[in-house]
Amino acid sequence: MSNIDPSQFKQGQRESWDSVAAEWQRWWKTTEPAVENVSRRLIELAEIKQDSKVLDIATGIGEPSITVAKKIDGGIGHVLATDISPQMLSIARQRAASLGLQDVIEFKEGDAETIALPTSTFNAVLCRFGLMFLPDLKTGLSNIRRLLVPGGRLAAAVWASPDKVPFITLALNTVMKETNSPQPPPGIPGPFSLSNENFLKDSFVKSRFTDITIDKINVVFNFDSAEDYTSFVHGTAAPVRVILANETPERREEVLKAVTQSVRKYADNSTGTVKLNNEAICLVGRK
């Protein structure tokens, strides 16, 4: 990774995710149907059973923890859901309680690199779209491996290359172009920092995971309209909000209109609904 201050980077991440937590809750019924197949695939890859003890890294507002908890509810299994953002965890905790899962899921603030938990505790560790934000992937993977029981599995999902993930790149590229914003330096953690499958697999190998396999999975985001997509992005994408905060209200409106225009080519001619196909990479390794 690049020469960044991990503590400073994580503090920025914490503030960013805290700032959009309420919007992720608002858009839950859009995002979760899109990625629930990823949660299910990770659970399959990790071979989670009713008696499994599961750690969820970067749970956000509660997934895939809640899907796991529903699977093991009634058994002797348990889920520990962690995230760097206390605001995200607060929403996740409320959701778990509303579903009667508060005795199955426990919540703890922390990140994969530094979270202090007993060695050889978990049968499975899941991380859905979180590994790519770690400033020190090697340390994070080593810590995760330490927490697994012998034979335990880490199943993770990351986004494929930018050209295969339009639900992120359409808006981000448009906003950066419209505002003349520079590309982030190479090596900065972000949505696509682990999109190279060879690098990703090699990272698992170097952290002494075995029986590594890679899956590809299609992730479909549906929006009622092009304007709906823009509203989603403006609400949930912290980097976009940061860039637009430097613009005048008038200019901000112009940029958002450009985002709406960029997604119109994906809109259905008769209904105006927008369907975006995206590719995710699912990877599993065994301790």
Write down the pTM of the prediction. Answer: 0.95
The domain ranges of the chain are 6-161+187-220+280-286
What is the DSSP annotation of 145-171? Answer: HHHEEEEEEEEEEEE--GGG-HHHHHH
Q: Which H or E run includes 95?
A: helix 86-98
pLDDT at residue 183, rounded to an integer = 84
Domain at 6-161+187-220+280-286, CATH from 3.90.180.10, 3.40.50.150, 3.40.50.970, 3.10.450.50: 3.40.50.150
Sign, CA torsion 243/233/97/118: negative
Give the pLDDT confidence of 187-239 residue by residue, as tens digits.
889 999 999 999 999 999 999 999 999 999 999 999 999 999 999 999 999 98
Q: Which amino acid is at 72?
A: I
Query: What would the two tokens of residue 204 be?
Result: 């698992």
Q: Does residue 254 contact residue 35 with C-beta atoms inside 8 Å?
A: no
pLDDT-derived band at 275 (thresholds 50, 70, 90) equals very high
CA–CA gap between residue 275 and residue 270 (Å, rounded): 13
CA–CA gap between residue 38 and residue 269 (Å, rounded): 29
